[in-house]
Chains A and B, each alone.
Chain A
Amino acid sequence: MQRLRRFFFYLFAATYAVSCPLILLYALGYAFKPTPQLQWVETGLIHLETVPSGAAVYLEGKRCEEMTPTALKELLPGEYRIRLELEGYQPWERSIWVEAKQAHRLDEILLVPDRLEPEELSSHRWERLIPVPETPYLLLTKGPLLKEAVVYDRQRRSLHPLVGRVSPWGDAAILSHWVVPESAWVLLQVRTTEGLRWIGFALDEEAPEPKDLTPLFVHPPEEITWSPRRPDRLFLLREGSLDRLDLQEMSLYPQLAQRIRGCGVIDPGELLLLTNQGRIHRIRHTGELLETFFEDSPLGRELLGGEGRFSVHPLSGDLWLFLGKQGRLLTNRPPYQLVEEGVRGFQYDKRRQRLLVWTDRRLGMVDFSRRKAEEEPLEEEAGVRWVYEGGARIRQAFWVYQGSHILFQDRDLFLLLEVETYGNPALNWSVPQALHRLAEAAGASEGSYSDEEGTLLYLDRSQGRLVSIPVVPPPVAPA
C-alpha cells in the first residue's frame, strides 16, 4: 500500500504541476497556437445570448457549430463580424473589436420578429388610452364622458366599465386625470351639470365605485400627488401652499407648509418639499419638519432658479429628481443639473440605477451607479448620454428587458432601440443598426408597456382597437 500510495502521490503531483498552469492560462485567455510557430497567444471571447435562444451564429461569414447562448472563445485580437440568424426574426449583425484577455458579453440581444402580428384584445374602437404606469391597469375611452370609459386589466385580460350603467356620474365629462406610478388609484376632474367635481377610483376593486372628493377640493390644485401605498392621503400644492387630504376621514388639513415650489412623497409618512429659498425639507405627513438639506440656500437658489414650480421625485432613499415646468431636470447629486430644458418625462430603473430621460427630440441615459461608485468631481458636467437625437415628438419611453433596450413612442410610431452595446468602444453601435420600428398607434393615444410581460398595448392606427404586441419574445420572461 505504501508503494502504491507513493506512486499515486507522484502521479497526482505531476498532474497538478502540468494541469494547473494550463488551466490558469486558459482561464486568463491564453491559447496555444501551433502555427505558424509554437506559441502562446492572448485571446479574447465573445459571449452571445439572444432572446429567443437558438440563433445560428456566423463569425466572419462562416457558420459556427454553436447556437445561442454560446461563447466564441480563443479569438485572436481584431475585428470580427458577427451575424445571428433565427427563422422568423430579423438578422442581428455587428462588428466587434476583440481585445486580448477581454470578454465581450452580449447577454441581452433581443431578436425582432420579421412581422409583428398584433393580438386583438378588444374589438371596440377606442379614442384614447390612458396608462396607469407600473400597474396592470389602463383606461380606455371612446369619448369624453365617464360612461364611455372602461378599465382594462392586463393580468386578467378583462374590460369593465369605469362607472355602472345607471351611475349618476355616467354623463360627467372628463377634464383631467392624475395617476401615480405603482398606484391603482386614479383621480379625475370632471364636469357635471352641477359644475366641476373631483372623483377618485380604486381600479383594483372589482367594481370601482367613484368616490366624490369635491368637498375637499376647496381650490383647484396645481399639483396632486400621493404614495402608492397610501392613496387615501393626497397632497395638494396650490400657490405655494401644501394641503393634505385624508380620504378616510374626508378631512382637509390645509397649509401643512407654505412657500413651497414642489413636493414629492418619499413613503407613506414622509415628503420632500422644495422651498422658495431653495432648501429641501423632509417632513412628516403631519407637517413636522424632520430634516433640512441644502442649507446653502444660495446654491439651491442658483440651481433651482428664483421662480417656478418643480415636481419632486424621490427615486430612492438618497437620489431625488427635480423637474421644472420648462423641462429643467436636476438631481441632488453633483453636478446637479442634468438637462437645462425640454425634458418631457423620465423613467428610472431601480435595479440598474439608470435613468431614462426624453425630450421631444432626444432620448438619453444617466447611469447613477457609476456616478456614485466613481465619485465624479463636482465640476463635471451633466452625465446624460444622448443615445438618440432623431425624434420629432417623443411622448413616452420605457426600459425594456433589464435595461438593454428602450421602447419609445415618437409621435404615433413605437420604436425599439438597443442600448446594451451603446458606449462600448469594441462595438460600432449606430442608430440605424440598433433601431427597429415596431408599430403605429392611433393618433394622440399613448401605449402601455409591461416589462414583466414584455408586451406593449396600444390602439392600432387603422381601427383604434386595443392590441398587444410582444416586444420581448416569449417564452423568455424578462427580469
Chain B
Amino acid sequence: MNFQYSRYGLTGGEKRLQRFLEALPGACSWAILIGMLGLSFWKPVWAAVVVIAFHLYWLLRLLFMTLFLVLSYIRLSIERETDWMGLIRALEAPESEIPSDPNGGRGQTFKRRIARALHQQELRRARRLTGPLPRLGEIIHLVIFPVAREREEIYAQGVESLLEQGIPLRQILVVLAVEERSSAEVQAGAARLARRYRDRFLSFEVVVHPDGLPGEARVKGANATTAARWAADHLRDRGIPFEKVILSCLDADTVLSPQYMACLTYQFMICPDRTRASFQPIPVYHNNIWEVPGFARVLDVGSSFFQLVEATNPEKLVTFSSHSMSFKALTEVGFWPVDMISDDSAIFWKSFIFYEGEYRVVAMYVTVSMDVAASRSWRGTAVNVYRQKRRWAWGVENLPVVMRAFLKKSRIPLCAKIRHGAKLWEGHLAWATWPFLVAIIGWLPAFFVGREFSNSVLSYSAPRVTWTIFHLASMSLAITICLSVALLPRAAVKRPLLKKAWHLLEWLLVPVISILFSAIPALDAQTRLALGRRMEFWVTEKRRIL
C-alpha cells in the first residue's frame, strides 16, 4: 500500500484528519479522568456503579495477564536451555529430527522434554514450507548501534556481547551509526572501537549521520536510516542478497544474551514469510538493575513483564526497543521514519501498512539486556525515568498515522484493522488513566457521598466489593513479585539475598510508582500531542558502574 508514513507534508482533509486524530487520545484520557471526577461529585451512585464495573474488568484483565506472564516466563526459562545452534544443524540436516540430546549431554529434564516437543513441531512445520530454507552460511547479520552521546564503554559491552554469539563472526556486519553533532570524544571512541574489532567481524564500520538533513528531525530513526542505506550499498557491492540479511537495530546500551543470534537465525530460517517479519526479543534491564533506586527497578521489571505477556500474543505484537527484522523488508518499506521519535514501533506499523497486513512479529524467548535510565542522584534518576517513560508513551504519535492508513481503502483485512486499532486505543488510554482510576478516583464516590447515597445499600456494598477485588488482585501482585525475584540477576553486592528480599517490599510502591512514572508521563505525552507540541528527542542518560 502506497502510504506516506508521516504526519508531515499533509494537506487539506488529510492534515485536518491527522490533527483531529492527534488530539483524540489525549482528549479521551482527560475526558475519562475528568468525567469520572465529575460523576463522583455530582452522581456518586452512578460513579460507584461504573467504578465497580471497571474494577472487576481490571481484575480479570490482571488475572488474565498474570496467567500468561507465568506461561511466558516458563517458556522463557525453558528456552534458556535450548541449543539453538543444535536446532539450526537439525534444520539443515536433510532427514534427521532433533538429535536425541540436542543439549550436549545435559540430560532430559522436564523442561528439555517440553522444549524438545515444541521444537520438533516447529521443525516439522518448517520442513513443510515451500521453497528452500536459507542455510546458516548464507545468512548475514547486520547489526546497527545508533550512537548520539553515549560513551564508548556503554556500547562496547554490546559489541563484545556479539563476540560470544554462537554463530560465526564473519557473518556479522557491525555498523556504529554516529551523529555528526556528537562530541569529538564520542566520535573518537567509535573509531577506536571500530579499529579494535574490525578484523573480528565481516566488517565493522562507523557511519556518520550528517546533521540537519532536510526533512529529518533529530531522531534515532534518521541516524539508523543513514547507516542502513550505507549498509544496503555495501551489501549490494558485495553481492549479498537482502533476503538473506537479518538486521538488528540495537540501542547503544544493549547487551545480547549469548543465545540471541543463534535464536534469531533459527527463527528467521523457520519463519514462513521471513522477509515480511520482525523478531522481538524480551527486553530486560539487567545491566545496572541493582545500582538504581527501587522504584526504577520495579518499573523496568514491570516493562519486561509487559513484553513477556505481549510475546504470548503474536497476532497483535508490535516491535519495541531493540529488535531484529528482515533487511529486505526494511529496504522495501523505505527504512525508518526520519521524523518520528518512536522508530521502534513505527517501523512495524510502516511495514504492516506497506504490506497491507501481511507482516508479522515473531516473539523470541531470548533476552536482550539494557540499562535502567539512572543518574548520579535519586532525584536525577527520577527525572530520567520520567523522561524515558514519556518518550515510550510518545509512541501514541503512531496512532493517528495508523488510523489514517486504516481508514483508507486497502487490502488490510477489516478484522486486522479492528484488532490492531482497538489494541492501540485501549493500550494508550489504559496507560494514561488506569492507575488514576484504580488508586484514586475509584474511592471518590465514597468521599463525595451525600446523605442520600450514604444511606444506600450501594454505599455499604461498594467499598466491600472493591476491597474483595483488591484482595484478589493482590494474588496477582504476589505472583508478579515472585517472578520478578526469579527474573532478576544475582546482585553483585555483599548480601545478595537481602537485596532481593528488600526488592520484594519495593513492589508495595506500585500504586504510587504507576501513577508518577507511568500514568503521568503517558498523560503528558498524549497532552503534548493533542496540543501539537513536539517532543525533541532527548537521549536518555544511562549511567552504569563499569
Contact = CB atoms under 8 A, between A and B. Distances in A.
B430 to A, nearest CB: 15
B68 interface: yes
Contacts of A16: 56-57, 60
B460 A45 contact: yes
Contacts of B64: 8-9, 12
A15 B458 contact: no
Given A19-B56, A23-B52, A45 B457 contact: yes
Contacts, number: 70
B459 interface: yes
Contacts of A24: 49, 52-53
Contact of B460 (A8, A19, A20, A103): A103
B52 A27 contact: yes
B405 to A, nearest CB: 25
A317 to B, nearest CB: 23
A29 B456 contact: yes
Contacts of A15: 60
A2 B314 contact: yes
Number of chain B interface residues as a range: 20 to 34
Number of chain A interface residues as a range: 20 to 34
A8 B60 CA distance: 11
Interface string B87-127: 00000000000000000000000000000000000000000
B531 interface: no
A102 interface: yes
Contacts of B456: 29, 101-103
B418 to A, nearest CB: 15
B282 to A, nearest CB: 14
Contact of B458 (A4, A5, A9, A101): A101
Nearest to B68: A5
Nearest to B466: A27
A5 B460 CA distance: 37
Interface string A1-39: 110110011001001100110011011110000000000
A27 B461 CA distance: 5
A5 B459 CA distance: 37
A102 to B, nearest CB: 6
Contacts of B57: 16, 20
Interface in A26-79: 26-29, 43-45, 47, 71
Given A5-B68, A101-B456, A105-B455, A27 B462 contact: yes
Interface string B441-459: 0000000000000011111
A242 B301 CA distance: 71
A382 B48 CA distance: 36
A128 interface: no
A104 interface: yes
A12 B63 contact: yes
Interface string B306-337: 00000011110000000000000000000000
Residue from A2, A5, A12, A20 whose CB has the most chain B CB atoms within 10 Å: A5
Dominant secondary structure at the A interface: helix
Contacts of A4: 71
B458 A27 contact: yes
B313 A2 contact: yes
A334 to B, nearest CB: 21
Contacts of A103: 455-457, 459-460
Contacts of B458: 27-29, 101
Dominant secondary structure at the B interface: helix
A240 to B, nearest CB: 45
B313 A43 contact: no
A43 B457 contact: yes
A16 B63 CA distance: 12
Given A5-B312, A45-B460, A104 B455 contact: yes
A78 to B, nearest CB: 15
B422 to A, nearest CB: 13
A20 B55 CA distance: 10
Given A29-B457, A101-B457, A1 B71 contact: yes
B25 to A, nearest CB: 24
A27 B465 contact: yes
Nearest to B363: A1
A65 B64 CA distance: 37
Interface in A425-449: none
Given A1-B71, A2-B313, A5-B313, A28 B457 contact: yes
A234 to B, nearest CB: 43
Given A8-B67, A16-B57, A27-B52, A2 B462 contact: no
A5 B313 CA distance: 7
A159 to B, nearest CB: 46
Interface string B63-79: 11001100100010000
A24 to B, nearest CB: 6
Nearest to B457: A29
Contact of B49 (A28, A44, A45): A28
Contacts of B457: 27-29, 43-45, 101-103
Nearest to A44: B457
Contacts of B63: 12
A23 B64 CA distance: 19
Nearest to A42: B457
Interface in A137-157: none
Contacts of A101: 456-458
A1 B67 CA distance: 12
B60 A12 contact: yes
A102 B455 contact: yes
A47 B460 CA distance: 9
B60 A2 contact: no
Contacts of B315: 2
A344 to B, nearest CB: 31
Nearest to B50: A24
11 contacts: A2-B314, A23-B56, A26-B465, A27-B48, A28-B49, A29-B457, A45-B460, A101-B457, A102-B457, A103-B455, A103-B459
Q: Nearest 4 A-B pairs (CB), nearest first?
A: A29-B457, A27-B461, A103-B460, A103-B457
Given A29-B458, A102-B456, 15 more contacts: A2-B313, A5-B68, A5-B312, A8-B68, A12-B64, A23-B56, A24-B49, A24-B52, A24-B53, A26-B461, A27-B461, A28-B458, A28-B461, A29-B461, A47-B460
